[in-house]
């Protein structure tokens, strides 16, 4: 079964600085999708960024970018120019190509210090 | 605002009771997913419907059931409730973007079982 691991339960970053959140996963599939979701105190889940495994180019979305290392099964999220509104729980998620399996990591709580 | 709506926002009930949670997907989205988020179990995928048909099943208890109606809204029915069913229940709808399915989460329904 696929698993998603986020080894950093908590992280903090100074406002305007850059922070990287780690995620590793385990799968025997070659085609799949990876996601980062943000859950602020409102508890709503917000899609931050997604990556298709067949694409070598790392996805970027404004201040958010990923470092996707397929061979290492690593999918880290980099947040540049951190803002107070970035403070939230961040979940890494894996989904297989057939849509039969959607697995979330345990989350990393990010604090942004003014 | 993701465009996915869930009602009610909060629900407080007693053990042994039955409740129904409702979800309206984004306009045009055919897929609806249900998730349970509890403190000790993290985010767990329960079930997926696509255009009225069950498509995938995750860690859904037999006491729980769901359906998707012709207007594409979905309901999650939880019966014989136990204290451990207290959790945040999310609904998500999905859309294909550039060949990849992306989910958009609703605000969640917080269920408290006393």
What rounded mean pLDDT belongs to chain B?
91
Report yes or no: A57 and A69 within 8 Å, Cβ to Cβ: no
Number of helices (H), then strands (E), belonging to chain B: the values are 0, 11
Q: Residue B62 pLDDT more than 80?
A: yes
Report yes or no: B101 and A95 within 8 Å, Cβ to Cβ: yes
DSSP A35-54: EEEEE-TT---EEEEEEETT
Report yes or no: B76 and B64 within 8 Å, Cβ to Cβ: yes
Grade residue B75 by pLDDT with cuts at 50, 70 and 90.
Answer: very high
**pLDDT score of B39:** 76
Which residues of chain A make contact with B56, given a CB cutoff of 8 A?
Answer: 99-102
Residue A86 carries which DSSP code? G
Mutation to test the B interface, candidates A44, A92, A97, A108, most B Cβ within 10 Å? A44
Report the Cα A62 to chain-centroid distance in Å: 15
Grade residue B98 by pLDDT with cuts at 50, 70 and 90.
Answer: low
Report yes or no: B31 and B94 within 8 Å, Cβ to Cβ: yes
For the CA atoms of B48, B50, B53, B57, the dihedral, rounded to the nearest 10 degrees, stands at: -20
From A46, A52, A106, residue closest to B42, measured CB to CB? A106
Report the DSSP beta bridge partners of residue A113.
A14
Considering only residues B28 and B64, tell me which one the structure prediction assigns the higher pLDDT. Answer: B64
Beta carbons of B107 and A43 less than 8 Å apart: yes
Residues 25-84 (B) with a CB less than 8 A from some CB of A: 33, 42-45, 48, 55-56, 58
**pLDDT score of A42:** 79
Considering only residues A44 and A13, tell me which one the structure prediction assigns the higher pLDDT. Answer: A13
Grade residue A99 by pLDDT with cuts at 50, 70 and 90.
Answer: low
Report yes or no: B5 and B21 within 8 Å, Cβ to Cβ: no
Q: In whole angstroms, how far apart are CA A90 and each of A12, A28, A79, A87, B8?
A: 12, 25, 11, 9, 25
| pLDDT, tens digit, 9 for 90 and up, residues A33-56 | 999 999 888 778 888 999 999 888
């Amino acid at each position: 079964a696929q698993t998603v691991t986020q080894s950093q339960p908590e992280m903090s970053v100074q406002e305007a600085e850059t922070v990287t959140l780690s995620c590793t996963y385990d799968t025997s599939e070659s085609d799949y999708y990876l996601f980062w979701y943000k859950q602020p105190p409102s508890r709503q889940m917000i899609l931050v960024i997604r990556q298709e495994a067949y694409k070598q180019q790392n996805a970027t979305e404004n201040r958010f970018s990923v470092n996707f290392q397929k061979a290492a099964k690593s999918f880290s999220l980099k947040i540049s120019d951190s803002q107070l509104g970035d403070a939230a729980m961040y979940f890494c998620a894996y989904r297989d190509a057939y849509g039969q399996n959607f697995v979330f990591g345990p989350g990393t709580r990010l604090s942004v210090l003014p | 605002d993701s465009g996915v709506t869930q009602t009610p926002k909060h629900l407080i009930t007693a053990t042994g009771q039955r409740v129904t949670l409702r979800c309206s997907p984004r306009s045009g989205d055919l897929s609806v997913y249900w998730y349970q988020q509890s403190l000790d179990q993290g985010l767990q995928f329960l079930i997926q419907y696509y255009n009225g048909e069950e498509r995938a099943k995750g860690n859904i208890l037999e006491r729980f059931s769901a359906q998707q109606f012709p207007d594409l809204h979905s309901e999650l029915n939880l019966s014989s409730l136990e204290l451990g069913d207290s959790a945040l229940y999310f609904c998500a709808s999905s859309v294909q973007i550039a060949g990849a399915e992306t989910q958009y989460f609703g605000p969640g329904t917080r269920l408290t079982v006393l």
